Amino acid sequence: MTAPLDIVIMAAGKGTRMKSRHPKVLQKLAGRALLQHVLDTAAQLKARSAVVVTGHGAAEVEAAIAAANGAEGADIAMDLKFVRQEPQLGTGHAVQQAVPALKDDGLVVVLSGDVPLTTADTLQGLLDAAGSDKMALLTVTMPDPTGYGRIVRNEAGTVQRIVEQKDANDAERAITEIYSGIMAVPARHLTAWLSKLSNNNAQGEYYLTDIVAMAVADGVPVVGHRIADVLQVAGINSPLQLAELERAHQLRQSRQLMEQGVRMADPARFDLRDDVRGTKGSLSCGQDVEIDVNCVFTGHVTIGAGARIGANCHISNVSIAEDAVIHPFTHIDGEKVGVEVGAGALIGPFARLRPGAKLGREVHIGNFVEVKNSTLADGAKANHLAYLGDATVGERVNYGAGSITANYDGVNKHRTVIEADVHIGSNCVLVAPVTIGAGGTVGGGSTVTKSTEAGALTVGRGKQVSISNWNRPEKQPKV
Ligand code: UD1
Ligand code: MG
């Protein structure tokens, strides 16, 4: 029988080298707080509880994490608690603060809030190695192990203890197998050993790693669970390390998509992030989807079979139907409401689709066209320099260059209805609320303030005056 799983996440450290006003564990990787990555991984393990040890910026960390995980749609099913560590006297001291929140019957996994890329599979491997009665340490071998705790094994290869860099002698410093900072240990043992820690070492800290020698002394087996992927144990201390791990994470995501058949022009130039509102980054693609370089996807995005995304697009919270083409430099953000792009639609280059844009099949939205909270039925076109806000546009409507809906009277928004087969000329202002009747035509340069009948031609502009044989003034000679 396996023991219930409880997670302790150490997140009290300051993160001085980030040089940020915000605590390190709230720095974002792929739009998500580092600590949230760790919690998400813990949640995949079906842990019973997670205890987060906070210290520096505790109030900010607790508020941000509680808000993210209490929110609707959050997928953290485990019991989440915070305990404070003041002052911060070392990793052993940090885990000591969590002891009152831990049950005796559990297996405890200790994680760090600044190590975001450990996979659930790796942690499951560690749990399997620990079973119900052993201690398991996640380790890796590094060509340059400087700074890390070293795994000291005896001649038989059995783990004896961990020695920290600053306490190690030359022979110990030559060891290349390091402790990742991640361990699994039965709660009842952990509690007993933590109470015996001392800070009699080079840093004057209570080292969690000292419990390894205690386990050996008490005859509790210690297993070193070694993995090859160094990225999974990489911690973040500086903006550069954050950016490097972000690239590694994005490459992982683009490789996964490519394994599903997505044609990425360059897997290294791809980004999928949570959006600014915290909607988890997710991209699902049908068959034969092509994505050119430097596209940023945020929030929830679906792309239908055969659709193509041009270079340098920013695409957020939208569903793009099959065979649509999004030309380069297009910005789409459905925010909470979403955007829909119909099958075979052509969007961009340089188009902007805002929340509530719903485009039917084969709709064309050209350069410098902005669409907000508007429905365009099948085959409607707005190809150049236009604005459609709060509009309902019928099938096959042609909306001319430079035309806009004047949807805002300074206080309220109003709707414009353009019925099927209408032709709106260039440079028109449709002052809402207004309806242009089906099949009607609006002459270029018109300002339309009254609704029009079906089939009518509407012209609302100053009449043209031409004076024949008119002479320009001539330049007067200087006196
Ligand atoms: C620790 C390990 C070392 C291991 C390395 C892996 C110890 C004594 N050493 O060293 O063997 O190789 O991680 O990265 O555990 N923290 C607190 N409260 C504290 C101190 C730290 O919450 O009082 C948190 C930090 O915010 C961080 C984590 O614990 O998330 C690790 O602390 P850090 O100071 O980075 O430990 P290392 O010296 O790197
Ligand atoms: Mg560290």
Domain shared by 143 and 291, yes or no: no
Distance 181 CA to ligand 1 centre (A): 7
Domain shared by 187 and 270, yes or no: no
Domain shared by 149 and 23, yes or no: yes
Domain shared by 61 and 162, yes or no: yes
Residue 441 sits in a domain whose CATH number is 2.160.10.10
**From the CB of 178, is ligand 1 less than 6 Å away?**
yes
Domain shared by 382 and 415, yes or no: yes
Predicted local confidence at residue 73, as pLDDT: 52
**From the CB of 114, is ligand 1 less than 6 Å away?**
yes
pTM of the model: 0.92
Domain shared by 247 and 287, yes or no: yes
Domain shared by 91 and 214, yes or no: yes
Query: Is 81 contained in some domain?
Result: yes
The CA distance from 117 to 134, in Å, is: 25
The CA distance from 467 to 448, in Å, is: 28
Residue 182 sits in a domain whose CATH number is 3.90.550.10
**Hey, whose CA ends up nearest to atom 26 of ligand 1?**
13
Query: Is 468 contained in some domain?
Result: no
Query: Is 473 contained in some domain?
Result: no
**Nearest-atom index, ligand 1, CA of 15:** 26
Domain shared by 223 and 272, yes or no: no
**Hey, whose CA ends up nearest to atom 39 of ligand 1?**
148
Structural domain that includes position 228: 5-233
Annotated catalytic sites, by residue? 384
Domain shared by 167 and 313, yes or no: no
Domain shared by 177 and 253, yes or no: no
Of 205, 233, 261, the position where a domain reaches its end is: 233
- Whether 153 has a binding-site annotation, put simply, is no
Ligand nearest to the CA of 234: 1
Distance 179 CA to ligand 1 centre (A): 11
Domain shared by 197 and 119, yes or no: yes
Query: Is 464 contained in some domain?
Result: no
Query: Is 479 contained in some domain?
Result: no
**Nearest-atom index, ligand 1, CA of 206:** 8
Query: Is 472 contained in some domain?
Result: no
**Nearest-atom index, ligand 1, CA of 13:** 26
Could you list the pLDDT tens digit for every one of the 479 residues in the chain?
579 999 999 999 888 999 999 999 999 999 999 999 999 999 999 999 999 999 999 999 999 999 888 765 566 678 999 999 999 999 999 999 999 999 999 999 999 999 999 999 999 999 999 999 999 999 999 999 999 999 999 999 999 999 999 999 999 999 999 999 999 999 999 999 999 999 999 999 999 999 999 999 999 999 999 999 999 999 999 999 999 999 999 999 999 999 999 999 999 999 999 999 999 999 999 999 999 999 999 999 999 999 999 999 999 999 999 999 999 999 999 999 999 999 999 999 999 999 999 999 999 999 999 999 999 999 999 999 999 999 999 999 999 999 999 999 999 999 999 999 999 999 999 999 999 999 999 999 999 999 999 999 999 999 999 999 999 999 999 98
pLDDT tens-digit series, residues 88-107: 999 999 999 999 999 999 99
Distance 35 CA to ligand 2 centre (A): 15
Domain shared by 162 and 63, yes or no: yes
**From the CB of 110, is ligand 1 less than 6 Å away?**
no
Query: Is 463 contained in some domain?
Result: no
Of 233, 266, 287, the position where a domain reaches its end is: 233
Query: Is 469 contained in some domain?
Result: no
The pick from 26, 53, 91 for probing ligand 1's pocket by mutation, whose C-beta has the most ligand atoms within 8 angstroms, reads 91
User: What is the number of structural domains in the chain?
Assistant: 2
- Whether 91 has a binding-site annotation, put simply, is yes
